[in-house]
């Protein structure tokens, strides 16, 4: 049986699921390749360290007006941070910024974290966008020292067994970024 015959005999919903999985894989691969092109690993030693930002517009929950999940990708050395943070506007027009979550800090599994995020949220993702750009789907941002330190501290905190049930409460400098930061 050839591969095409094998797929042809699957129920149509399986074919649709395989197609969706392929698109999600392609999207995550494009994001990873763009990150590697725009700066990639070893940013700590650069004069102006860069990170990649991709904004994933989501279908809104309840009465919210808007919801975006910001993905930041940064590699100070060989390991790559993949972190996400929710930003939304509630029904009253109030900006709400969620906690930063590190999906990965690894030399190779960071690609899986991006793919897993896209796959887990595939039914909610509407549009990809940058912070300050209208037509671009990602941004190349200078990472500030306090942002790099925050990612490092947050990563250390989440791996400390004594912090298993604790919330990281340090001020998040990434809260100053976002679609509506300083505009509301």
Which domain does 69 fall in, by range? Answer: 12-176
**Section 28-49 average pLDDT:** 92
**Residue 183 located in a structural domain:** no
The answer to the question of residue 184 being in a domain is no
Say if 21 falls within a structural domain.
yes
Average of per-residue pLDDT across 150-176: 88
Give the pLDDT confidence score for residue 5 in this predicted structure: 45
Lowest mean pLDDT among 24-33, 49-58, 60-69, 145-154: 60-69
Per the structure, the count of domains in the chain is: 1
- Does 159 reside within a domain? yes
Tell me, letter by letter, the H, E, C secondary structure of 50-71.
EEEEEEEEECCCCCCCEEEEEE
> Rounded to the nearest 10 degrees, what angle do helices 110-120 and 12-38 cross at?
140
pLDDT tens readout for residues 114-129: 999 999 999 999 888 8
Is residue 7 one of the residues assigned to a domain? no
User: What is the rounded distance in angstroms from the CA atom of residue 13 to the CA atom of residue 11?
Assistant: 6
Is residue 182 a part of any domain in this protein? Answer: no
Q: What is the DSSP-derived secondary structure letter of residue 101?
A: E
Tell me the pTM.
0.84
Residue 152 pLDDT more than 50? Answer: yes
CB-based burial label for 106 (10 Å; 0-12, 13-18, 19+): middle
In this prediction, residue 98 carries a pLDDT of 92
> Cα-Cα-Cα-Cα dihedral of 118, 66, 175, 79, to 10°?
10
């Amino acid at each position: 049986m050839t591969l095409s015959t094998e797929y042809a005999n699957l129920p149509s919903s399986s074919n649709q699921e395989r197609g969706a999985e392929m698109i999600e894989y392609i999207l995550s691969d494009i994001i990873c390749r763009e990150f590697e092109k725009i700066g990639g690993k070893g940013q700590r030693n650069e004069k102006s360290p860069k990170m990649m930002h991709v904004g994933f517009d989501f279908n809104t929950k309840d009465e919210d007006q808007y919801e975006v999940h910001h993905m930041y990708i940064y590699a100070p050395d060989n390991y790559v941070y993949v972190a996400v943070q929710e930003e939304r506007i509630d029904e009253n027009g109030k900006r709400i910024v969620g906690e930063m979550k590190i999906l990965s800090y690894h030399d190779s599994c960071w690609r899986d974290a991006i793919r897993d995020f896209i796959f887990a949220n595939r039914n909610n993702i509407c549009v990809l966008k940058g912070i300050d750009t209208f037509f671009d789907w990602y941004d190349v941002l200078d990472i500030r020292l306090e942002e790099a330190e925050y990612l490092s501290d947050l990563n250390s905190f989440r791996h400390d067994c004594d912090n298993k049930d604790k919330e990281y409460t340090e001020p998040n400098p990434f809260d100053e970024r976002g679609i509506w930061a300083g505009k509301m």
